[in-house]
């Protein structure tokens, strides 16, 4: 048997650097980062990609407004994302920029290969286009108001365009895609996303896709027909493999390891960009005989208690303003534990503070500080594990194992909020165990007291191991207090790990927010 680690490659959407930073960007990236952390703790060999999507008409227009070149503009703007990930302590392996020369070269080669394989033909695009969403919209999908057309989801105004364009033969792959998705149940999660896409696009004759534009210049030019630049979505989607070193002839080792022969490949996307990821992306890959990702995970939107965030309503939350007030781990904890990724989730500062105070300061913070102070008051040597037949003890041992199993089961199904609910369930059980067993009344039975406190210590270790997936910095501070080097999943059910460890003085790691 080989001990080679399984690989896991996870990506966020690469964001447009043209708009302001949005709390939604931080949400998607947090989800991907938390999954990355979980897989690392599970022993996988993990790579995590994020980046910025830097070509297209929208960027060109913004740069013109600012009177600088598009390249200067994206250089400035993409740094805002890099800075955001630094401030939120989100570490990644690749920051993919579509203006990177290697990416540009690969995308042009891909386009040429598509031409050689007769997957692309020249024609004329006549129809509506949303510059803001960089998306072609059929007239029947658009919303018509006062002689203007609007995007059905984002509401952006649509332009009428008529220009020479190359088209990709999407339609040819309709049956293949339907068949593929139906056979591969985990390819698109959640399932209702696929149902909608199938109803709206595949069952109604999938249109061939316009894959070049001629009315602006900021994009990857086709050397063979230089007035054309490649459609920004064809360009952007391929970042997921160009960043790993994809090449038709000489692919680099990361591409071979994490994509071609990789075990799991997961794309995290917001629900509004599933059409590109769940229809066009698999078809592009299939058309070139490139392996498909394992899962495209679509999440809902963050909304405010009053509804959708939008520029026109002026209620878009800037992540930087939140970071001026709250530790990034408080925000990342809220996103991971209080929002089901399959639905739209409400964000407000009040909910954020409540989740921190109730889960981290009260439930987990109190559990650990009570445990530590009882150990230090009663024992000056390590508290050892002893076999026990007491029902409360057996129940708590079972709760540690069961909740850890549930945590993993939920994570493996991308039910991140439910996974953290299992962690909290265990923390609540441990607090109840203290209230039921009343350790402060055990002074005349030190054996029993030692068993109880050892189980509380092991339970706290289990809670912190799970919490570390989203709050590594908070949890790191407990290492010194509990005198451990790591919080390993593999050690959770080893109840003897504290037998030789003396516990240090407690510090307040989770002060309440008033
Ligand atoms: N550049 C494309 C993606 C190309 S991927 C090959 C793009 N960029 S974007 O800047 O508009 O980012 C969209 C993504 O931001 C969404 O898919 C989602 O991940 C995130 N969010 C933006 N607003 C959001 C919310 N209100 N709520 C949650 N996430 C949302 O599309």
384-402 pLDDT per residue, tens: 999 999 999 999 999 999 9
Ligand 1 mean position to 24 CA, how many Å?
7
Residue minimizing CA distance to atom 8 of ligand 1: 15
266 Cα–ligand 1 center, Å: 16
Ligand 1 closest atom vs CA 28: 19
pLDDT of amino acid 250:
97
Instruction: Give the C-alpha separation, 445 to 270, whole Å.
Output: 57
pLDDT exceeding 70 applies to what percent of the chain? 100
Give 24-66 pLDDT, tens digit per residue.
999 999 999 999 999 999 999 999 999 999 999 999 999 999 9
Cα of 396 vs centre of ligand 1, distance in Å, is 42
CB distance 235 to ligand 1 below 6 Å = no
Structure tokens at 31: 């989800």
- Which of 19, 29, 24 has the alpha carbon at shortest distance from 470? 29
Model pTM above 0.85? yes
Lowest average pLDDT, out of 64-73, 119-128, 211-220, 311-320, goes to 311-320
Q: 382-405 burial, b if ≥16 CB within 10 A, otherwise e?
A: bbbbeebeeeebeebbebbeebbe
pLDDT tens column, 430-448: 999 999 999 999 999 999 9
Residue nearest to ligand 1 atom 27, measured at CA = 301
- For residue 16, which atom of ligand 1 is closest to its CA? 10
Residue 82 Cα, ligand 1 centroid: separation in angstroms?
16
- Could you tell me if the CB of 14 is within 6 A of ligand 1? yes
Cβ 26 under 6 angstroms from ligand 1: no
Pairing mode, if any, of strands 302-303 and 143-145?
unpaired
What distance in angstroms lies between residue 27's CA and the mean position of ligand 1's atoms?
10
By the 8 A CB rule, do 239 and 14 touch?
A: yes
Cα–ligand 1 centroid distance for 44 (angstroms): 27
Say if residue 1's pLDDT is above 90: no
Helices 328-338 and 416-437, axial angle in degrees (round to 10): 100
- pLDDT of 298: 98
Q: Is the CB of 269 under 6 A from ligand 1?
A: yes
Nearest CA to ligand 1 atom 24: 24
Per-residue pLDDT band at 20 (split at 50, 70, 90): confident
Q: Which domains does the chain carry? A: 7-118+173-198+236-299 (3.40.50.620), 349-491 (1.10.730.10)
Ligand 1 atom at shortest distance from the alpha carbon of 17? 10
Cβ 285 under 6 angstroms from ligand 1: no
Q: Is 146's pLDDT higher than 80?
A: yes
Q: Is the CB of residue 273 below 6 angstroms from any atom belonging to ligand 1? A: yes
Q: Mean of the pLDDT values across residues 286-310? A: 96
- What are 169-211's pLDDT values in tens digits? 999 999 999 999 999 999 999 999 999 999 999 998 899 999 9
Ligand 1 center to residue 415 CA distance, Å? 20
Q: What is the mean pLDDT of the chain?
A: 96
Whether residue 94 has its Cβ less than 6 Å from ligand 1:
no
Element (H, E) at 10: strand 7-11
pLDDT of residue 2: 60
pLDDT at 22: 94
């Amino acid at each position: 048997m080989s001990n080679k680690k399984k690989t896991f490659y996870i990506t966020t959407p690469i964001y447009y650097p043209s708009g302001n930073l949005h709390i939604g960007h931080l949400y998607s990236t947090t989800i991907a980062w938390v999954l990355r952390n979980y897989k690392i703790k599970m022993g996988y060999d993990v790579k995590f990609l994020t980046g910025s999507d830097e070509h297209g008409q929208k960027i060109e227009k913004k740069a013109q407004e600012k009177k600088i070149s598009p390249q200067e503009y994206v250089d400035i703007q993409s740094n805002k994302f890099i800075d955001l990930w630094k401030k939120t302590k989100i570490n990644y392996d690749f920051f993919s920029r579509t203006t990177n020369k290697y990416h540009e070269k690969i995308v042009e080669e891909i386009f040429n290969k598509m031409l050689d394989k007769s997957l692309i033909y020249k024609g004329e695009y006549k129809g509506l286009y949303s510059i803001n969403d960089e998306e072609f919209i059929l007239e029947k999908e658009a919303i018509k108001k006062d002689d203007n057309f609007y995007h059905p989801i984002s509401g952006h105004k649509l332009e009428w365009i008529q220009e020479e364009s190359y088209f990709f033969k999407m339609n040819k792959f309709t049956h293949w895609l339907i068949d593929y998705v139906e056979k591969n149940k985990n390819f698109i999660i959640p399932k209702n996303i696929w149902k909608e896409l199938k109803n709206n696009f595949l069952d109604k004759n999938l249109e061939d896709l316009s894959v070049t534009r001629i009315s602006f210049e900021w994009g990857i030019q086709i050397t063979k027909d230089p007035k054309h630049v490649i459609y920004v979505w064809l360009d952007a989607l391929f970042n997921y493999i160009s960043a790993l070193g994809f090449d038709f002839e000489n692919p680099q080792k990361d591409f071979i390891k994490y994509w071609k022969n990789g075990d799991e490949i997961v794309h995290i996307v917001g629900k509004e960009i599933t059409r590109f990821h769940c229809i066009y992306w698999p078809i592009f890959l299939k058309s070139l005989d490139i392996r498909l990702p394992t899962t495209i995970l679509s999440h809902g939107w963050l909304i405010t208690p009053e509804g959708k965030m939008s520029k026109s309503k002026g209620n878009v939350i800037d992540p930087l303003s939140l970071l001026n007030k709250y530790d990034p781990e408080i925000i990342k904890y809220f996103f991971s534990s209080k929002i089901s990724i399959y639905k739209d989730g409400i964000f407000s500062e009040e909910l954020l503070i409540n989740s921190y105070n109730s889960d981290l300061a009260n439930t987990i913070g109190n559990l650990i500080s009570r445990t530590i102070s009882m150990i230090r008051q009663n024992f000056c040597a390590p508290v050892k594990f002893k076999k026990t037949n007491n029902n409360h003890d057996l129940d708590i041992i079972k709760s540690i194992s069961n909740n850890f199993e549930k945590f993993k089961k939920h994570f493996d199904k991308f039910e991140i909020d439910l996974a953290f609910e299992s962690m909290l369930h265990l923390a609540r059980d441990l607090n109840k165990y203290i209230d039921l067993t009343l350790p402060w009344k055990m002074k005349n039975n030190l054996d029993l007291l030692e068993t109880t406190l050892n189980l509380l210590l092991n339970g706290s270790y289990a809670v912190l191991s799970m919490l570390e997936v989203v709050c590594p910095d908070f949890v790191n501070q407990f290492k010194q207090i509990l005198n451990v080097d790591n919080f390993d999943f593999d050690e959770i059910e080893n109840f003897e790990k504290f037998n030789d460890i003396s516990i240090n003085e407690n510090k307040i790691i989770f002060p309440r927010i008033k």
